[in-house]
Structure 1
Amino acid sequence: MSTQKNSTALQPDFSRSLAFTLAAAIMLIPANLLPILTSDTGGVSRIDTIYSGILGLFESGLWPLALIVAAASLLIPFIKLGGLVVLMLAARRGPSPHARRLTRLYAVLDFIGRWSMLDVFLVAFLTSAVRFGALSTIRPGAGIVAFAAAVVLTILATHAFDPRTLWLQPHRSSTTPSQ
């Protein structure tokens, strides 16, 4: 019994990181489908999802901002999820000649994670800055809450993953002598 307890203690545990990653992936569905912003300007109401907001920015001639929002809202979350899956699979297999590159991938994922909050800050800024009473109003939608949850969950998933496991030898319980 003690051998079994010791063998599981030496194996990398990805359950927390995997749970956060799966939860983030699930939250990205409503984040991309639900409205993130509702604006009323001069009697014209507009409801935007992430995708329609990016298209609206392009159509308004704000293509640099549209590219930044597209990268922060679409690319980064999905790259982060894919990167986390790659890291967990690689660590589960044990050390590889690519451990150094995988460790760099972890550092990059850790760094870019907080930049996905750009959308949340943009909606918060617009909501607080655009207060013209009857002329214009902006209200955050449920999609931005789901998006913020997805971003926080990817950050938690990254922090729950231990990059040292990329360098560990996989533990084989069948080779451990029983006592």
Structure 2
Amino acid sequence: MKKEFITSYLTFYMKATVELAGDFIKVANPNSILKVIPLGVRNKSIPVNQVSSVDESFKLDLKSFIWGIIFILIGLSSFKSSLFAGVLITIYGAITVLSSFQTIMSLQLTSGGSYDISVVVFEKENLAACKQEIEALIQKRYDNTNVAVHTEKQTEALVEALKNK
């Protein structure tokens, strides 16, 4: 399974990816300056046995929100001097404000740390589906390592075999 997410409307072409590959969760998260200038990608491979839980939350990036409001005000005030520049700056500000509302998926690690994936709020459903798949992978790992369940199954098989003889 490989899912892609938009991290900012200004850099919609730079997408974060989460891929479940065997026993690893591979994450690629793009970096940018002011949500406009691409700066590369932060890659991380996390073994499933090191993930204790997956959390989902909502966040307002206050710096981006304020930055967007400032650009909206600058754009609106520059309509008199240049209509084109005013519209362009206002649109930039509005998109920055929209991008400041984020949904966060946090992978809680057994070592005590966490790894966050931040996407735009309109990607919430895709992120929730990804969270469910990761939780299913974690549950499968717990089921495979649950000694009590395996011992019980082996005991039942042994008792059944003894009854048949």
Shorter chain as denominator, the TM-score bin is 0.3 to 0.5
Larger Rg over CA atoms = 2
User: Which structure features the higher share of strand residues?
Assistant: 2
User: Which structure features the higher share of helix residues?
Assistant: 1
The two structures have a TM-score, normalised by structure 2, of: 0.40
The two structures have a TM-score, normalised by structure 1, of: 0.38
Higher relative contact order (CA 8 A, sep 6+): 1
